[in-house]
Structure 1
Amino acid sequence: MAVRINPYLVLNGNAEEAIKFYAEALGGTIHGIIKFGDNPFPGMPEEVKDRVMHAHLTIGDSALMFSDTYPGQEYTVGNQVTVTLQVDSVAEAERLYAALAEGAQKIEMPLQKTDWSPAYASLTDKFGIPWQLNTNAEH
């Protein structure tokens, strides 16, 4: 049985900006952005209509899903979800690191050689999403 794990990132009103940023920074393809207003239901507050209800982005053969919170839904920035990008070359790691580190809230570990990777980094990007970047060891 094949199982895919898709990280689902919930943001607080800036999911559309994040999707577009990640598509550009990571060379991804946006497969759809559905806003709450695209499927209105009775009593929907006006302020929620432009928020993202669901979006899908692919990067290579991996996927990220996104949504915004709904008014009244608790939103806490945290490290409960970490997205790990596994790459095959140091050059690709350098490109991705430069893109994600731009405006980052925190660089936990700058891109560097480690015992397990020729180029590894850990950071929290400008949207508060924690990322790890791991380069496959060259054999």
Structure 2
Amino acid sequence: MIQASVPFILFDDTCEQALSYYVELFNAEVLEKMTFEDVGYTEDSRRSHCIANATFKLGNQLFYAGDVVEKNDLQPVSSKGRISFWLELDSYDVITTLENQLIQTGSTSLVGLHKTFWESHYAKLQDKFGVIWELNAQ
């Protein structure tokens, strides 16, 4: 039986920067972070600073993150996300502020902020690390 589902976001040696970005942008809380060096990964000493595993929290949702272990990993990181993360926000003001911050820090607007048929304000953006964020405020 499945006990929980936690998204794991893979990065291409940019996990540390992404975590800092999410802390600043989303007020995320990094709960744990271990580098390749911390976990004894020794195959490429130039990458010892890369993140092997991190846990961070957005609201009540946990996320895992890390840099791919091998460059030819079977789960390659793509600049075109195949998954997106839906953030349910408090208000129109919050979604407007967050959309502006994302764009000002290098994100690409995929769907501009607009009023939807489900009576929400909604925007969809891809951040500078290739992760897609869907912002919704009822």
The TM-score by the shorter chain falls in which range?
0.7 to 0.9
Tell me the TM-score normalized by structure 1: 0.85
Q: Which residue of 1 aligns with 2:100?
A: 98
- Tell me the SS of whatever aligns to 1:23: helix
Tell me which amino acid in the other structure corresponds to 1:39: V
- Residue 88 of structure 1: which of 81, 87, 90 is its match? 90
Question: Structure 1 residues 101 and 66 mapped into 2: Cα distance closer, same or farther (>3 Å)?
Answer: same
Q: Which residue of 2 aligns with 1:108?
A: 110
| Count of equivalent residues | 134
Question: How far apart are 1:13 and its partner, in Å?
Answer: 0.4
Q: Which residue of 2 aligns with 1:38?
A: 38
Question: How far apart are 1:59 and its partner, in Å?
Answer: 1.6
- Tell me the SS of whatever aligns to 1:65: strand
- Tell me the SS of whatever aligns to 2:116: coil
User: For residues 87-124 of structure 1, what are the alpha-carbon distances to aligned partners after superposition, in whole Å with 9 as ceiling and x for unaligned?
Assistant: 121111112212222311x3111112111143100111
**Aligned equivalents of 1:94, 1:8: Cα separation in 2:** 27
Tell me which amino acid in the other structure corresponds to 1:59: L
- Tell me the SS of whatever aligns to 2:43: coil
What's the % identity of the aligned pairs? 23
Does 2:134 match 1:132? yes
Q: Which residue of 1 aligns with 2:11?
A: 11
Tell me which amino acid in the other structure corresponds to 2:62: A
Structure 1, unaligned stretches of length 5 or more?
none
Supply the RMSD in Å over aligned alpha carbons: 2.0
Q: Which residue of 2 aligns with 1:60?
A: 59
Tell me the TM-score normalized by structure 2: 0.86
